[in-house]
Structure 1
Amino acid sequence: MRDKQQVFGYAGYEMRSHSETRWAALMDSISISWLYESQLIKTRHGYYLPDFYLPAVGLFVEVKGLGPTAVEIEKAEDAEAATGIPVIFAYGKPELLGAELAHGVVAYFNGAKRISFSTRELGALVRQSYDIHTYSAFICAGEHQGMPDSFSASDVMLEWVNKSMDRSGRESYAASLHGPLNQAKQDKHGQQSKAEWFLAKFAEKVRSRRKTSGRENYD
């Protein structure tokens, strides 16, 4: 039986899960610029490293397979309190159903309450705002792909290097790899895209409601 894969390459990055690479590709398909694991934040549950930061939007994105636990939501709340940057969760198992991307969710939690969008709803916005080629790229990027049956030679080498280091070593290595890639992406980013504009408006609404009413019911 093959050992569980720990490193998943995407665009030069070494990500921690297959789900992270899929959500990264989905964001790329609609021109949402992201930085990977760019900010370490102290929370009541220890240090927290959100998966993605969207610099043109002012949001963190945390990817979870089945959805966030109560502890993960508390980490996100602490991260927002410390930085002023809301954390949204991307989770589920997006798959193609009737030419639409279903079973994926993007959600912001406020205690036990949440505001959420399905990938089907997000796809409808993409279809309305972009051309058919962009919509097709969105669907292809987001659709769940099964794990490959075998590793490439480079994958095997990455896994070996990763497993040969302790946690501190792995974190230092990841930071040294991802830091320059993040900086290059940040330097390159230009005008805010349509999708980034939409998410920025959403982030503004979240910040405004938290300031004026605390744990308001968004449902």
Structure 2
Amino acid sequence: MGESLQRSPGRTRLRSDTLSTPVKTLRVKMVLLGASGVGKSSLAQRFVKDEFRNTSPTIGCAYMTCAVHLSDVSLRFEIWDTAGQEKYHSVTPLYYRGAHAAILVYDISKRKTYIRAQVWLKELEKHCIQGSTVVWLVGNKGDLTLDRQVSVQEGESLAKDRGLFFTETSALSGDQVSNLLLDVAHRVSECIGVQQGGLSEWTETPLMDLHPRDTSSVFSSCCRVGP
């Protein structure tokens, strides 16, 4: 499915408020997978708001959006942040089926999460058609390098063997997080883009509050960011 990318300065703008010329906006479904506590929600917050917050374990799945502007197209990412707890494992395929991008996250300081990531990968391969999903293996919590239990070489080797892209990040410091999202955007555009009919145009759908007095509604756990 891919390999690590070298950054090229200035090739893309992320979440820019203005573009020099109007471009088409395409919809990209992206899912975050991995064990509980590896930092999936923190990565999602970095993608959307470029901030770090301590988060509680995700219940079921959380949803948010953000835009990435490339030179010839804008991509509106619909980010599905799935729960990593074992009890939610059986329902997770409902969220990642049809995903254009999948971010498979492990914690570099906890080997068991690296092993768990390989279980998620097997599940992902069962439900996704090869070539229809850009899959990225991400070793998060790069700021815990002194507690590292999974080497960079191990991550790179697994990615190479399984045809994945690979990056190490730190949601805490923000290191490589923006670069990761930009690289995913480029790969999705190149591999699954409009020329192959793989991405549909984004259309705004008004959100309806069906239960205005029910604060326990499932929609209360989702976050809609941006237009």
Q: Do the structures match in fold with TM over 0.5?
A: no
> Bigger relative contact order, structure 1 or 2, given CA contacts below 8 A and separation 6+?
2
Taking structure 1 as the reference length, what is the TM-score of the superposition? 0.33
Taking structure 2 as the reference length, what is the TM-score of the superposition? 0.32
